A and B are shown apart, each in its own frame.
Chain A
Amino acid sequence: MDSIFGVPIQALMGQLMLGLVNGCFYALLSLGLAVIFGMLNIVNFAHGALYMVGAFLAWMLLNLAGVNYWVALLLVPLAVGALGALIETTLLRWLQGLDHLYGLLLTFGLALIIEGIFREAYGSSGQPYDLPQVFKGAFDLGFMFLPKYRAWVVVASLVACLATWYVIEKTRLGAYLRAGTENPNLVKAFGINVPLMVTLTYAFGVGLAGLAGVMAAPIYQVSPLMGSNIIIIVFAVVVIGGMGSILGSIITGLALGLIEGLTKVFYAEISTTVVFIIMAVVLMFRPAGLFGREK
């Protein structure tokens, strides 16, 4: 069978593959957002900008310091996480107790600053990031070319997502984190350093964004605009999935990437808006989100 519904198999599989890769990025980023929101009640608009910072750090490491992709994969999330810790302790901490809207506004301002700095330094078109040699080329599957690197991205992000889910839901550290949000005072009474946990949570969340940035660098061209382009879609993903559910964000992110890929085959014109349309539908029938627990 050469085609389904009049669409050649090659096109379908190809777009689904690309959609899956996009979905992995949506999942990673919405995961970070969900972790931060779940623990801190802050909608981190700067998430996209930090994702972009991750990509740029990887680029800078490669082109200015000769540090290769694998080392960057390790270093960059740590660096971005450190930056996140700095942001949390110096800026976000002041917003505790205020209306959550201020958190959104503050991180929006941060996003503007970060994007502005990089745009000033590098212009707004993309910088190329060279693939590590082992990833160059593609698997010829017959019905499509599957670039080796994109296959790696799928594997790596799934591992990262599942690892995060495991840590938060199944380990003691995760239990402390979850308890710390539910009832900080009680947890403090147990002698656990809640402010430190908060900082670490934010750092971890943005570290995930930084990881996504490194993985995105070879695919999407490193550009100061890459963060803002993706963050709004990720917001929609989070509204659809419902914030607060880790597994929910992962599943929703992947699913929406796949759906986007599908629409590109059958009805390309709505591929840019399909995520928002789904969000509108979910809002009509399940306002709390598919996996959400309305707080």
Chain B
Amino acid sequence: MKFKLLAVAAAASIAGLPLSASAQQGKLSGDVVKIGVLSDMSGLYADYGGPGAVAAARLAVQDFGGKIFGKNIEVVSADHQNKPDIAKNVTQQWFDRDGVDMTVENLNSSVALAVQALGKEKNKITIVTGAATSRLTNEDCAPATGIHYLMDTIALANVVGKAVVKDGGNSWFFLTADYAFGHSLEKDTGDVVKAAGGRVNGAVRHPLSTNDFSSFLLQAQTSGAKVVGLANAGGDTVNSIKAAAEFGITKRQNLAALLMLVTDVHAIGLNTAQGLYLTEGWYWDLNPETRAWADKYSKVMNGRKPNSNHAAVYSSTMHYLKAVQAAGTDDTAAVMKKMRETPINDMFAKGGKLREDGRMVHDMYLFQVKTPAESKATWDYYNLKGTVKGEEAFQTVAAGKCTAVKK
């Protein structure tokens, strides 16, 4: 498979300056650190991850200095078109033939499961940011090599699900994307609803990347549930919400977008999206640090602002590079150890911690989409409604199913 090779040469003709304060000579496999960014570059999730994720990774390498122990850091990328077999093929070649040391991004959930399993088999680090299935840190966990960095379906259910139920939404009908992510999200949110005393009236499954949601929404309408839960993401969520507006669903029922990012709101438009609750692990307009990074990203991405996935790619790539530097080598076990020992304190998260099961625990935020009147500029879309501490949002190791690390 051919892929774009972006050799990020030391733009730092900061030539001559030793990079690390301790001029430690590190041992690198293949004399280079190669990072692979695998995502959907042209399909329904392209705005979610896509070229933006590649840009974010490049920014991280650039901000790190472009070189490590005097050797180059290279970033390669590939488009898996949302097909796990293409993803597995590419990643296998990356690991076997091309000396890639770490892959990052790895949405969607089918892809993430395949890639994490491959990383476990080949002992290479795989960082999943864009995929949400909680299986990555439960039944399919890979503590030695796999990291789940951004959010998962349990956190989504705990933050958004609980918020909607508290608002009065006690009967739900799910519109579920028919793959690992959708199933996980439907199950985890259903659990939250039932635990709060609510009811799940039913669910309908739709194929990934559906364009016409009319018949599915009709089924939701006849279910009589108060809330129509959208257990899908990206283009599917955008289309569901638009179709719901077209069919007058929102006149009698409430929509709950269980996974929505600022780029989705941008695609739907505030007119239709206003008032929706959602959760993200990061937002560009939270504080001066986030705004500064968002500006840097905007400059290379045609004025578009980053979503939490892009920020997660940046943060995790930077964390990885720092760990390699601290460990003095790109050997997987040593780097993973350093990544767990060091907390994450950057523009993405404060006090973030990589757990033994691969889960990166950090705070999640509950947002509500602004009305068109409240929004002062493009991309000014969210009102912050609450912060949920990481320990509350994410499932504990003890409650999880990762047998490799449970006591």
**Interface, chain A (partner B; CB < 8 A):** 8, 10-11, 14-15, 18, 119, 123-126, 128, 138, 140, 144-145, 147, 219-221, 223, 225-226, 261, 264, 268, 271
How does the 8 Å CB contact mask read for B197-224 relative to A, with 1 for contact and 0 for none?
Answer: 0000000100001011011001101100
Q: Is the CB of B215 within 8 A of A123?
A: no
Cα A119 to Cα B42 in complex, Å, equals 8
Which 10 A-B pairs rank lowest in CB-CB distance, beginning with the nearest?
A123-B42, A11-B222, A125-B44, A221-B211, A125-B235, A145-B248, A14-B218, A124-B43, A126-B211, A220-B211
Q: Are B81 and A124 in contact (CB under 8 A)?
A: yes
Chain B residues lying within 8 Å of A123, measured Cβ to Cβ, are: 41-43, 46
Q: Is the CB of B218 within 8 A of A125?
A: no
A19's closest neighbor in chain B, by CB?
Answer: B215
Determine the residue in chain B with the shortest Cβ distance to A14. B218
Partner of A15, one of B215, B239, B242: B215
B247 on the A face (CB < 8 A): yes
Contact between B222 and A10 (Cβ–Cβ < 8 Å)? yes
Q: A124-B42, A124-B43, A125-B46 are in contact. Are A223 and B211 (CB under 8 A)?
A: yes
Tell whether B246 is near chain A: CB-to-CB under 8 Å: yes
Total cross-chain contacts (CB, 8 A) = 61
20 further contact pairs, Cβ within 8 A, besides A18-B214, A123-B41, A125-B234: A8-B222, A10-B221, A10-B222, A14-B218, A14-B221, A119-B42, A124-B42, A124-B43, A124-B81, A125-B42, A125-B46, A125-B209, A126-B239, A128-B242, A140-B248, A147-B247, A223-B211, A225-B209, A261-B215, A271-B215
Q: How many positions in chain B have a CB within 8 Å of any CB in the partner chain?
A: 23
26 contacts between A and B (CB under 8 A): A8-B222, A11-B219, A14-B222, A15-B215, A15-B218, A18-B214, A18-B218, A123-B42, A123-B43, A124-B42, A124-B43, A124-B209, A125-B42, A125-B46, A125-B209, A125-B234, A126-B239, A128-B242, A138-B246, A145-B247, A147-B246, A219-B212, A219-B214, A221-B211, A268-B219, A271-B215
Q: A10-B222, A15-B218, A145-B248 known; A124 and B212 CB under 8 Å?
A: no
Knowing A124-B81, A145-B248 are in contact, say whether A264-B42 is a contact too (CB < 8 A).
Answer: no
- Is B219 within 8 A of A125, CB to CB? no
User: Contact check: which of B81, B218, B242, B247 meets A138 at CB < 8 Å?
Assistant: B247
Distance A145 CA – B219 CA, assembled complex (angstroms):
13
Q: Decide: B43 and A125 in contact? CB cutoff 8 A.
A: yes
Separation of A8 and B43 alpha carbons in the complex (Å): 37
Q: Closest chain A residue to B217 by CB distance?
A: A14
Report the minimum CB–CB distance from A5 to chain B (whole Å): 14
Q: Given the complex of chains A and B, what is the CA–CA distance between A147 and B219 in angstroms? A: 16
CA distance A126 to B209 in the complex (A): 9
**Which B residues are CB-close (under 8 A) to A226?**
211
Inter-chain CA distance A18–B221, complex, in Å, is 14
**B235 partner, pick from A14, A119, A126, A268, beta carbons under 8 A:** A126
Contacts of B209 in A (CB 8 A): 124-125, 225
Q: Which residue of B lies closest to A124 (CB)?
A: B43
* A54 CB to nearest chain B CB (Å): 16
Q: Closest residue of chain A to B251, judged by CB?
A: A145
Residues of A within 8 A of B246 (CB): 138, 147
Q: Which residue of A lies closest to B207 (CB)?
A: A272
CB of B212 within 8 A of CB of A221, answer yes
Q: Which residues does chain B contribute within 8 Å of A126, judged by CB atoms?
A: 211, 235, 239
In the complex, what distance in Å separates the CA atom of A225 from the CA atom of B212? 13
Residues of chain B within 8 A (CB-CB) of A8 are 222
Measured CA separation A264–B217 after assembly (Å): 12
- Could you tell me if B215 and A18 are in contact, using CB atoms closer than 8 angstroms? yes
Smallest CB–CB gap between A130 and chain B, Å? 11
Are B239 and A221 neighbours in the complex by a CB distance under 8 Å? yes
- A128: chain B residues at CB < 8 Å are 242
Bound: A10/B246 CA distance, A: 17
Decide: A11 near B218, CB < 8 A? Known: A126-B211, A138-B248. yes
A236 to B81: give the CA distance in the assembly, Å.
28
Give CA–CA (A225, B46) in the complex, Å.
16
> Max chain B CB contacts within 10 Å: which of A10, A11, A123, A128?
A123
Instruction: Kindly state the separation between the CA atoms of A10 and B42 in the bound complex, as whole angstroms.
Output: 38
Roughly how many angstroms separate A124 CA and B246 CA in the complex, as a whole number? 23
B54 to A: closest C-beta gap in Å: 15
CA distance A125 to B210 in the complex (A): 9
Contacts of B41 in A (CB 8 A): 123
Q: Which residues of B sit under 8 angstroms from A14, Cβ to Cβ?
A: 218, 221-222
The docked-state distance in angstroms from the alpha carbon of A119 to that of B235 is 16
Q: How far is the CB of A139 from chain B (nearest CB, A)?
A: 10
A144: chain B residues within 8 A (beta carbon): 218
For the complex, give the distance between the alpha carbons of A11 and B214 in Å.
12
Q: Which A residues touch B235, using CB under 8 A? A: 125-126
Set of chain A residues within 8 Å of B214, measured between Cβ atoms = 18, 219
Q: Which of B43, B222, B239, B247 has the most CB of A within 10 A?
A: B222
Q: In the complex the two chains form, what is the Cα distance from A18 to B214 in whole Å?
A: 8
Chain B residues contacting A219 (CB-CB under 8 Å) are 212, 214
Compute how far the CA of A14 lies from the CA of B42 in the bound complex, rounded to whole angstroms.
33
* Complexed CA–CA distance, A125 and B44 (Å): 5
| B328 CB to nearest chain A CB (Å) | 42
A149 to chain B minimum Cβ distance, whole angstroms, is 9
Q: Which residue of A lies closest to B235 (CB)?
A: A125
Most chain A CB atoms below 10 A, which of B41, B211, B247: B211
Q: Please, which residues of chain B bring their CB within 8 A of the CB of A147? A: 246-247
**Minimum CB distance partner of A122 in chain B:** B42
Give CA–CA (A38, B284) in the complex, Å. 60
Instruction: Collect the chain B residues with CB atoms within 8 Å of residue A140's CB.
Output: 248
| Docked CA distance A8–B246 (Å) | 21
Q: B248 contacts A264, CB within 8 Å? A: no
What is the CA–CA distance of A138 and B215 in the complex, to the nearest angstrom?
A: 16
Give Cα A295 to B209, complex, Å: 40
- Which chain B residues border A264 with CB–CB below 8 Å? 215, 219
How many Å lie between the Cα of A11 and that of B218 in the bound state?
A: 7
Nearest CB of A to B270, in Å? 15
